[in-house]
Chains A and B, each alone.
Chain A
């Protein structure tokens, strides 16, 4: 450059300032710094990401990829990153990005479910999700086995795994108004819930899993009775009307109540998952179980209308058993129709104490003796009306001294016990007898005779009328004789006047004679002069 002649000589010279020159510019620190920061952010990001899990849902309703959180006790511990349909389009597969250090939560028995607003019976839950949208609930299991593929529950679990208490199993043939979450009552205090229920494979029974919270689970003893406390239980029976309720809540949504029968002894607490029977009501639950029920048969030659299985069998008013079955039977050989009633009797309730009897045979022999003697003394079964309003009928055993003699045939199975017609039937029979007698009366003949008699009477009356007419004539004559203007009356009148005068004269004479009795002898003085 200096070799070229500058064309503009008038340009001033710049000042020379010494400066140090750097080979590699410090500016390279900037990309290095950027790279370092970027790498640090990336590492932090990767480190902050926990495990990825797959949850299979029936439906992704309310779920949103990148938005729906997995929430445990109000803390977000994960978020759904992708949601897609399964291959067979029957379910939804969601991949969730969990928070770091959540590996311990993702174990074999960890459960997931979608929290949506839910109103079931007394439980209103997930109302917050109305605003915030659905989230996924998680219940962390206790297992040690790690897992990354889960199938979400359809409904939230009723019972949290960390709530102390115990599960029990109830079997029932009728679910009634039970549902998941139905409360369990103990002395009207809510102590648990129905966790789940399932119909057995044979379709005959429901298995209801219930959870009783601690410390109330200790009141579930081996002989505890469970019954359906659903709503108002109104029962009309031979004993009359009875109303049973548990609480207002259970009236609305149903419930299960339990109670141990009052016994003096302290019974062992039931193990978890003990199977109990769920009775339909309290009465049934506490009906003393027949400890040694004996089946007998009663044949009634009358209508058993009103007699239902479960009707009481009483001995002089004391319940000793119940009717098991009522059916009709026809004997094909004799073509005889009978209504055998099978009853279960608990002989022990008759006061037969099994004391000192070792063998069953000895006991049976004693029972036979008892029944034989009772029947010999006139004990018979009879149908009686328990409740006139409902027409329910029960079987009563009582002494009927006048009953035809009978014996018990122990060779039959079931053994037949002698019966006697019911009171109503006896009454009916009497009424029928009267009607039959009435029926037999020769009413027509009587009518004929009566008619003839009436015809005779008619004739008699006609002649009577003639007699009366002549009587009238006689009376008329009498009337003319005795009338006020008749000659006879006037004559009688004048005669009577004459008699009256005669009587006066006689009195005058009598007076005179009284005063002058001597005139009878001497005659009248005045006249004598």
Chain B
């Protein structure tokens, strides 16, 4: 990708995010709809940075209780045990079970935090109009977008376990409050990724290019 490629916006064109059709904006101040698929057309996503920031901050706020509160309460004859995500990682860590432990660690702790940090980085650089590492940043964005949904695996497994292991009164598993926060983190980061407009990454480059030109 050449850094100085012209953008549709610079050409006065809007691209449809659904069908990819380029169209000229309707006359007047108002933004129009795609003539082919009736999708709302905007030059850039509405208040993209603001929304992304909002979702990201919400996700970051939820990330704390998600890790502090127990995600799973196991009730056995021996008593009730509440484990947080990190305790689960420690619990699973054994000479034979370490890959599982690693999966939980990566999917449930590292990926959400990495997502939050990556999005924050993207937002700050986009906001400051940075023109460096455009390629890296768009790659990062794609990675975040792709990987984000997999964090939901944890929530999925937890809810499944809770639904399946109901051997009252011998043993039962119940989701803890941390799980709701964890799910919220995953959902909010996905929303943040969704609301972030990756075109903002190179808008600065293009506008600078234009100015220089």
Contacts and interface: CB of A to CB of B under 8 A. Distances in A.
Nearest to A23: B47
B40 to A, nearest CB: 8
B62 interface: yes
Q: Which of under 10, 10 to 19, 20 to 34, or 35 or more describes the interface residues of B?
A: 35 or more
Given A14-B33, A15-B32, A34-B61, A67 B55 contact: no
A51 interface: no
B65 A42 contact: yes
B33 A17 contact: yes
- Secondary structure at the B interface, as helix, strand, loop or mixed, is mixed
Contacts of A28: 50, 54
- Secondary structure at the A interface, as helix, strand, loop or mixed, is mixed
Interface stretch (B10-18, B127-135, B147-155, B198-206): B10-18
Given A16-B32, A18-B30, A11 B22 contact: yes
Contacts of A27: 47, 50-51, 54-55, 195
Contacts of B69: 41, 45
Given A25-B50, A27-B55, A131-B77, A17 B23 contact: no
Contacts of A133: 78-79
Interface string B27-39: 1101111110000
Contacts of B40: 17
A6 B79 CA distance: 74
Nearest to A35: B61
A132 interface: yes
B171 interface: no
Interface residues of A, number: 35
B211 to A, nearest CB: 15
Given A17-B30, A27-B54, A38-B65, A2 B12 contact: yes
A33 B62 CA distance: 10
A14 B58 contact: no
A67 B81 contact: yes
Contacts of A38: 61-62, 64-65, 181
Contacts of A35: 57-58, 61
B85 interface: no
B21 to A, nearest CB: 9
A33 to B, nearest CB: 7
Interface string A18-41: 110000110110110111011001
B51 A25 contact: yes
A1 B35 contact: no
A14 B65 contact: no
Contacts of B78: 131-133
Given A14-B35, A17-B33, A31 B24 contact: no
B23 A14 contact: yes
A6 B12 contact: yes
Contacts of B24: 6, 11-14
A14 B62 contact: no
Contact of A15 (B35, B51, B64, B77): B35
Interface of B: 11-14, 22-28, 30-35, 40-41, 47, 50-51, 54-55, 57-59, 61-62, 64-65, 69, 77-79, 81, 177, 181, 184, 188, 191, 195
5 contacts: A13-B27, A16-B31, A25-B47, A28-B50, A30-B54
Interface of A: 1-2, 4, 6-8, 11-19, 24-25, 27-28, 30-31, 33-35, 37-38, 41-42, 45, 67, 69, 76, 131-133
